[in-house]
Amino acid sequence: MGKQIAVEVCVDSVASAVAAERGGAQRIELCSDLLEGGVTPSVGLLGVVRSKLSIAIHPIIRPRPGDFCYSDAEFESMLRDIEIAKSEGADGVVLGILEEEGNVDVPRTRQLVELARPLSVTFHRAFDMSADLFRALEDVCATGADRLLTSGGEQECLQGVDTVARLVADAGGRIKIMAGGRIGILNAPTIVEHTGVTEIHVGLATPVRSPMVHRNPRLSLGKAQGREYQRTQVSEESVRALIRALSSRTEAKVD
């Protein structure tokens, strides 16, 4: 019997979170501002999502967009955000800190991990920005984190499958390796088969039409013109289709 693959869906809204659960996801990573790669969600968003979902919720603890080298003040905000996540019923947190030279900041990451307990901790794709992935693997293990999200250092996981497979082998069960990075319905089975991971992280969001009838073409409050009328959302069917594709792979392997 093939191993069941846990699917984590990255979401930034209540609607996407509900769709992920209804589609069959085992867990969500909850963020705000996914257009900037995701930052810590508001207390309000976390609270409402928690009230509507029964599956695991892992908010990202990222104080700002950009790099993962944080000031003392930013680190303090991460500590506080972890306390808030625990009080609001999160099941885990997602985080990562690097030093200036591109190494994992082991002491400060370990401090965050210890504070987060008994919640599960995922070290996110700051890992993929590190100077040496295999040294970083050892460092992440040293922090006590439970899970490592990676694309193998590439923009897309499909490009990094050989590296992810090596990381799975080198981890030797000390930490869970979760594949992520533009994984979708068409490539998910191949990535799982090639790497041996038992967890994947997906986005699956698609554009949705703004309900606004009145629009001001002269003004934009975002970084890109017209962004106020652009957003994406995860659909229940897209999650379900991904899980069907993974199930078909498992059934074919058993046969």
Quick check: 160 pLDDT over 80?
yes
Alpha-carbon Rg for the chain in angstroms: 18
DSSP at 132: -
State the Cα–Cα distance between residues 10 and 39, nearest whole angstrom. 12
User: Domain locations in the chain?
Assistant: 6-254
pLDDT value at residue 91: 98
pLDDT score, position 1:
33
Question: What is the rounded end-to-end Cα distance, in angstroms, of the chain?
Answer: 9
CATH level 3 topology of 6-254: TIM Barrel (3.20.20)
pLDDT of 35 reads: 84
pLDDT tens, residue by residue, 222-238: 666 667 888 899 999 99
CB atoms within 10 A of CB 72: 7
How high is the pLDDT of residue 39? Answer: 98
79 contacts 109 by C-beta, under 8 angstroms: no
pLDDT for 61 equals 98
